[in-house]
Every structure is written in structure tokens, then in C-alpha cells.
Amino acid sequence: MINLSPGLSACEIEVAGIFKPVFNSFMVVYNFIKNNFPESMPMFNSFGAPSYTWNSGRSSDFISPKYVLEQLIEDLGVNEIGFNLVASNFLIDETYLSDPIGNLLLEIMSQDNPTKRNSVICCDTVSNYVKDKYPSLKRTSSILKITQLLHEGIPILDAYSYLFSNYDKVMIHPDHIRRSDILNSALIQNNKTKSIIIINEPCITNCKNRYKHYKLISMQAINPRDLNIIDNLGQFQNGTCKAIPYYQQLNNSYDPVRLTREEFTALIKLGFTNFKIQGRSYNPHELFFDLAYYLFDDKSMPLVYNALF
């Protein structure tokens, strides 16, 4: 018998890939759950971004005409899947808010929002813009934002207090998801329903280069043809970074942030209900594995994996 992970029905799960080929892996698993567990399936959202200046996640070359974007977002809504646009570049200022792709997507996702869960994953500049011009859209603070605040020396709980006060939902920093002193603080406990936890973060624990890595990605989004930025980012990801390429994670000394299934279900028992599964830079096999691993219990996971992949 195949079973979902304990407590999953009460959760809201964000899954990578809306502008990537790996999105097909998500839809295969989504349709399987919808057809076999219609009364107990969680809410799902998909996140991602095309190639534009506001993005600071994994790059995408997805460029398409308006009618294709409209159909894409409409199809998500028909399937009761929310759309979360990644606009997390923390280096942009108001001069970049005229970006035509960003504004087109905001317009479409604000007009076609049957789930009422369409959201923008962002930092302050885009957040304030969305709050003013597209108030029907939710705003989620990006991992880049909490990383930026901590880099600036703001104490951890003060940083989260600012974010909970200014965003609808807040991404918890990956280094904090095993910190009981932070998760059990009154601030986080009182905002559990607004907290989003990444469960398959591939980075190493307490990475000292996280801020630098995010900054390089943000710089490349603004200047995608700057050869110096491309070279620096390439050298970083293939030299300095201990998690990329992913085969380095096979090293026994690698200390990943990603949670085990047991840690994931323990967080659900503690009352956390919002989770994110990354994978925009994964191949379909890798994302499918993580979906099967986290969304189904330990006995069901291999059955699902072998049956669907």
C-alpha cells in the first residue's frame, strides 16, 4: 500500500521548476497524488522565474510571448496550483522596476489567481512595489533577504521580526532549521504559519560563502553578458563552492543542510506547515527522487519511484 508522509495533508508545499524541464517531474507526482489521494493531498505551489533582472535564483533561458505565459499560469490555476514568481534580486533598486517581463508576469498572475496563493518571492524593493501596485498578490521574503540582513550584522531574531512584520510569509534561513533555540523562540512559534522551511537545500551547513554566491548570481541577472561576472561565478561554483557540482556531495566530509524524511515529519508534528522543495538546477531524475522521498512514507517511496519514473 502506498501512503503519503504523515501529516502531509495539512501542509502547503512549494516545488521548483515552473520555467524548467524538471516541471514535468513535479506534474507526474502531482497527478498521481491528485488521482489517488484526493481527500488528503496538500496544497501545492510551483516557483520559478524566466531570464530577467529581478531573478536571483537558478538562471533560466525561458523567454516566451504573452499568450504562452498566460496559458502557463492559467493551467496552474486550473490544477489548483499556486504560482510563486522568484524576484529575489537584492541588488536592484527602483530603476529596475520597469522591467517588462516582471511587470507582465505580475499583471497576469494578479488577474488569474483562482487559488489566491499566487506570490512573489522577493526582497524589499520588489516587495514594496508589489504591495503598492498588485495588493492581491502575496509577498514572501527570499532566502537572500535573511542572508543579507545577517550579513549586515542584524541579530537573528531582530532580522526575523522585521521580515514577519513586512512580508506575508518568510523563508527561514537553511542554517536555522535545526536550531531549536531559534525554532522554539516565541517569535518563530507565534509565526509558524508564516514560516517556510526548505527541506532539500543542497548547500553545506553554515556556508561562509552563501552571501558572496547570492551576490554573484544577482549581479549576473543584472548584467547577464558581463564576462567578468560570468567568469567569477563559474570559478566560484566550480572551485570555491563545496556543494556544486553535486557529485562533491558524495564526499563523506560533506555536511548538507537538507533534511531527512524523519526531520521533515518531525517539523510537521511541531506545527510547521509550509515547506519548499528546491530543484530548478536539478535534472528530472533528481527532482523526482526528492519528491518521492519527502512526499511519501519510507515504505511507499521506492514503490512510487519505480512505478512513476
pLDDT per residue rounded down to tens, the chain (309 residues): 899 999 999 999 999 888 888 888 999 999 999 999 999 999 999 998 888 899 986 655 556 678 888 998 999 999 999 999 999 999 999 999 999 999 999 999 999 999 999 999 999 999 999 999 999 999 999 999 999 999 999 999 999 999 999 999 999 999 999 999 999 999 999 999 999 999 998 888 888 888 988 898 888 888 877 778 777 777 766 666 665 555 455 555 556 788 999 999 999 999 999 999 998 778 888 889 999 999 999 999 989 988 887
Identify whether the C-beta of residue 168 lies closer than 8 Å to the C-beta of residue 140: yes
pLDDT at residue 253, as a whole number: 55
Identify whether the C-beta of residue 16 lies closer than 8 Å to the C-beta of residue 277: yes
- Residue 4 DSSP symbol: B
Helix, strand, coil proportions of the chain in percent (round to 5)?
50, 15, 40
- Separation CA 1–CA 261 (nearest Å): 19
- Separation CA 98–CA 47 (nearest Å): 22
Q: Say if strands 81-87 and 119-122 run parallel, antiparallel, or are unpaired.
A: parallel
- Separation CA 265–CA 202 (nearest Å): 19
pLDDT at residue 236, as a whole number: 65
Q: 101-118 pLDDT, tens per residue?
A: 999 999 999 999 999 999
Q: Where along the chain do its domains lie?
A: 8-205+252-308, 206-251
- Separation CA 195–CA 111 (nearest Å): 26
**Residue among 298, 218, 220, 232 nearest 265 (CA):** 298
Q: What is the pTM of this model?
A: 0.92
pLDDT at residue 63, as a whole number: 63
- Residue 16 DSSP symbol: E
- Separation CA 123–CA 24 (nearest Å): 28
Identify whether the C-beta of residue 115 lies closer than 8 Å to the C-beta of residue 80: yes
- Separation CA 160–CA 177 (nearest Å): 13
The CATH architecture assigned to 8-205+252-308 reads Alpha-Beta Barrel (3.20)
- The torsion defined by the Cα of 123, 129, 133 and 137, in degrees rounded to 10, comes to 0
pLDDT at residue 238, as a whole number: 66
Helix (H) or strand (E) holding 172: none
- Separation CA 263–CA 268 (nearest Å): 9
How far from each other are the two terminal CA atoms of the chain, in whole angstroms? 18
Identify whether the C-beta of residue 151 lies closer than 8 Å to the C-beta of residue 117: no
